Structure 1
Amino acid sequence: MKNCSSLKDIALAPSGKLKIDWVKPNMPVLNCIHERFSKEQPFKGLRILLCLHLEAKTAYLALTVKAGGAEVAVVASNPLSTQDDIVAALVDQGVRAHAWYGATEEEYTAHLHEALDFEPDYIIDDGGDLVSTIIRDRRELISKVKGGAEETTTGVKRLRAMDKEGLLPFPMIAVNDARSKFLFDNRYGTGQSVWDGIMRSTNLVVAGKTVCVVGYGWCGRGVALRARGLGAKLIICEVDPVKANEAWMDGFEVRTLRAAAPEADYFITVTGNINVINKNHFPLMKNGAILANAGHFDVEINKQDLAELAVSRRTVRSNIEEFTLENGVKVYLMAEGRLVNLAAGDGHPAEVMDMSFGLQALMVEYLTKNKDLKKHLYKVPDVIDDEVSLMRLTSLGLQIDSLTEEQEKYLADWQE
């Protein structure tokens, strides 16, 4: 197994193990699932491939799946979020891995194909990279893979488009759309980890400055909420009139991006779309503006436009590149426009990823028990969604009320 992996340095394993040991006590839902999987072995004889950001929390998910009896392989979903010591720790514990920090585009693609050579029975995907690669280049695997689960908003969008066109090669479950995922991971997780990545990299104050959050979905809400808590003034840019109204009623300024460009000190894109900040906006920005992306792909801030407009560029700090424009204004791009919370930080806190990864583990188990599902995109069953949140409450020592039989009848019967 170890010889089949592609990694930077196996000698880094002890450091990675310490990181994994740190998150375990803070992931009680996954601990509970890990214990049950170890006893029941629901994945015995199966191969499961995970394409995720390779850091401590995802490593523990991989080890939990392995505890269920599976042969497990992992591959990175982003070359700048990979932590080489985590990859080494996984390989040292019998997980096949294909990733290293800073992989080139060619290396990243090669890693995806090496991972797919594993011929998995089930997949856990992030951003739809595995599914897209199978459809485009590895169609021989369509009959082998029995199903999978998707982690992100961007991935679900891609899968929904595939499903609409009838191209989805096997059943996939939209874990991102579960309440126990997006209400916590997307909102509180993204909000905290984005600012963690920005602040540790810049070492600059946030209070009193103006932050422009582009996109007011659940991730954007979280980023804005944390910025307000840090003392910033907020401008929200949106294309969805309902979300724009929501941002306004949450107490934020709502403007077009061109109107916001001259005022903001920080720009954070959270849209999942392409070419959001581009050549129409960069020349309008104030000197010292900081650009960061919290969407899945590095396409929201147009890096080509920025490079073409710049008369010079240099790296001024780790994960910060300075671009000097023709008008003398200097703007700063963080983490090459990739996910700032993972490329410049450690990603979401363990407690919120505990719920997301608990869902991932349970949904792969669900797929093994429901082999008659058709080639469509499915939602997480409400009973499993509720189960994960109840497990989290139990771990906190919290109890909630239950509906009585009379109340359930009243809610279900229109004649009552």
Structure 2
Amino acid sequence: MAIPDKCDIADPALSGAGRRRIEWAWQEMPVLRELMARYSREQPLKGIRLSGCLHITTETANLARTLKAAGADIVLCASNPLSTQDDVAAALVEHYGIPVFAVRGESTERYYRHIDAALDHQPVITMDDGADLVSRIHQSRPDLVENMLGGTEETTTGVIRLRAMAAEGALRFPVIAVNDAMTKHLFDNRYGTGQSALDGVIRATNILIAGKTFTVVGYGWCGRGIAMRAKGHGANVVVTEVEPLRALEAVMDGFRVMPLVEAAALSDFIVTASGDKHVVDKIHFEVMKDGCVLANSGHFNVEINIPALEALAADKQRPRKSVDEYRLPDGRRIRLLAEGRLVNLAAAEGHPSAVMDMSFSNQALCAMHLATQTQRLDNRVHGVPVEIDQEVARLKLAAMNVQIDTLTSEQTRYLSSWQEGT
């Protein structure tokens, strides 16, 4: 395997450990294994230059291997400065011949330099987790637009950015919202985030969750998963929301719902999953319970107003690897995890491989969909084609050895008719 000439990783010597972890994750990703076997023969991405701005994890490595097997010429950079697993980045370069520009803990300047390096690859397809590649192309690299076939987007935050661009008429090539696939948000967002966010909180603090008051900010699919898992750990779960339907759902699911300013005074843990800015703000810090643990499970580190917390604090120390403890003038302590970045990757290992198997299978199939279209899609945010979503679900069920019923011809006719009734 030829080692790429250009890359930027922390330590090539970590590659052996990274390779072993990548292979471990591969055992839990049967749908991607099936796609690799199928498309390594057909090579639908042959000659396609693809740049991915994704969390550099074992699961992402297996997506990249699948895309390369399908013929793609792929380069990767990180979609978050604290989510890179340096051993995985080394293995991708040293053992799989995939150029990577990602170092855990990289500065903001280096982070964007890596994005530019991925765009120097002259991609015709982008694969984003947060829309940073698409945003950078539109702001700084318009020369790339003409040859773009399109992009894919992995996460809610990125889809929000892209839809804002499309609404303003600024989006200059099509993007498929992989995040909105049923096999993505029903499973990855709920079960993946639910497990990995709690994993990050527990690894960072080693504080018992049972019996504590645990507030979840936002009750979308990610918030639902976090609340469900916190309840399973024995926490008294509070949900805060701005949308009445979601708030009502949380009540019906058995959770207490109240304004965050009230919850802040009661909470031992507060985890954000809103996708919005400064949802935890100065007014909340001012009433927060002593020792409250703050964590963010959204993509960007803007959900908690960290500058406001810094301004309020009289002192700051780091008692544990992923914990910054801010002491306020009145002696109260507020404990921020992972510098406010997504706690499941910055303080743990991210989502379990089994759910990323579905998400990344959607990514791979959507990239092939963009590459094989005879006519370019409109310049807007597109949903994942239903047939792709259904294929991923079918393959996952088969891998789990689960069989389901099929409609009879009579039932199919009935569902498409209107004449027959009571």
Q: If the TM-score is normalised by the length of the shorter chain, which range does it land in? A: over 0.9
Partner AA of 2:34 in structure 1: C
TM-aligned CA deviation for residue 331 of structure 1: 0.8
Tell me, which stretches of 5 or more residues in structure 2 are unaligned? none
Q: Which residue in 2 is equivalent to 1:274?
A: 277
TM-aligned CA deviation for residue 8 of structure 1: 1.2
Partner AA of 2:158 in structure 1: G
SS of the aligned residue for 1:332 comes to strand
Distance 1:369 1:412 in 2: 31
Q: Which residue in 2 is equivalent to 1:114?
A: 117
Q: Is the contact between residue 119 and residue 145 of structure 1 (CA under 8 Å) also seen in structure 2? A: no
SS of the aligned residue for 1:281 comes to helix
Q: Which residue in 1 is equivalent to 2:91?
A: 89
Q: Which residue in 2 is equivalent to 1:129?
A: 132
SS of the aligned residue for 1:263 comes to coil
1:73-101 per-residue CA deviation (whole Å, 9 max, x = no partner) reads: 00000010001111111111211111100
TM-aligned CA deviation for residue 414 of structure 1: 2.8
SS of the aligned residue for 2:290 comes to coil
Q: Which residue in 1 is equivalent to 2:307?
A: 304
Q: Which residue in 2 is equivalent to 1:194?
A: 197
Partner AA of 1:81 in structure 2: S
Q: Is 2:43 the counterpart of 1:27?
A: no
Q: Is the contact between residue 40 and residue 70 of structure 2 (CA under 8 Å) also seen in structure 1? A: yes
Q: Is the contact between residue 185 and residue 348 of structure 1 (CA under 8 Å) also seen in structure 2? A: yes
1:134-185 per-residue CA deviation (whole Å, 9 max, x = no partner) reads: 0111111111221111100111111111111121121110110010000000
Q: Is 2:407 the counterpart of 1:413?
A: no
One of 308, 312, 317 as aligned partner of 1:314: 317
Q: Which residue in 2 is equivalent to 1:139?
A: 142
SS of the aligned residue for 2:27 comes to helix
SS of the aligned residue for 1:3 comes to coil
Q: Which residue in 2 is equivalent to 1:388?
A: 392
Q: Is 2:260 the counterpart of 1:263?
A: no
Distance 2:212 2:31 in 1: 38
Q: Which residue in 1 is equivalent to 2:364?
A: 361
Distance 1:333 1:404 in 2: 56
Distance 2:132 2:143 in 1: 16
Distance 2:418 2:174 in 1: 34
How many percent of aligned residue pairs carry the same amino acid?
A: 51
Q: Which residue in 2 is equivalent to 1:148?
A: 151
Partner AA of 1:44 in structure 2: K
Q: Which residue in 2 is equivalent to 1:243?
A: 246
Q: Is 2:39 the counterpart of 1:37?
A: yes
Q: Is the contact between residue 50 and residue 75 of structure 2 (CA under 8 Å) also seen in structure 1? A: yes
Q: Which residue in 2 is equivalent to 1:220?
A: 223
Q: Is the contact between residue 149 and residue 376 of structure 2 (CA under 8 Å) also seen in structure 1? A: no
1:230-268 per-residue CA deviation (whole Å, 9 max, x = no partner) reads: 000011000000000000010000000011011000000
Partner AA of 1:405 in structure 2: S
Q: Which residue in 1 is equivalent to 2:82?
A: 80
Distance 2:365 2:398 in 1: 17
Distance 2:418 2:237 in 1: 44
Q: Which residue in 2 is equivalent to 1:375?
A: 379
Q: Is the contact between residue 219 and residue 239 of structure 2 (CA under 8 Å) also seen in structure 1? A: yes
Q: Is the contact between residue 48 and residue 371 of structure 2 (CA under 8 Å) also seen in structure 1? A: no
Q: Is the contact between residue 89 and residue 100 of structure 2 (CA under 8 Å) also seen in structure 1? A: yes
Distance 2:293 2:415 in 1: 50
TM-aligned CA deviation for residue 109 of structure 1: 0.8
Q: Which residue in 2 is equivalent to 1:404?
A: 408
TM-aligned CA deviation for residue 415 of structure 1: 2.9
SS of the aligned residue for 1:168 comes to coil
TM-aligned CA deviation for residue 405 of structure 1: 2.2
TM-aligned CA deviation for residue 48 of structure 1: 1.0
Q: Is 2:104 the counterpart of 1:101?
A: yes
Q: Which residue in 1 is equivalent to 2:211?
A: 208
1:118-141 per-residue CA deviation (whole Å, 9 max, x = no partner) reads: 001111111111100101111111
SS of the aligned residue for 1:225 comes to helix
Partner AA of 1:400 in structure 2: I
Query: CA RMSD, aligned part only?
Result: 0.9
Q: Is 2:169 the counterpart of 1:166?
A: yes
Distance 1:403 1:154 in 2: 38
Q: Which TM-score applies when normalising by structure 1? A: 0.99
Q: Which residue in 2 is equivalent to 1:12?
A: 14
SS of the aligned residue for 2:139 comes to helix
Q: Is the contact between residue 288 and residue 332 of structure 1 (CA under 8 Å) also seen in structure 2? A: yes
Q: Which runs of 4+ in 1 moved over 4 A?
A: none
Partner AA of 1:67 in structure 2: A
Alignment of 1:326-341 (within 5 A): 326-341=329-344
TM-aligned CA deviation for residue 408 of structure 1: 2.1
Paired positions, count: 416
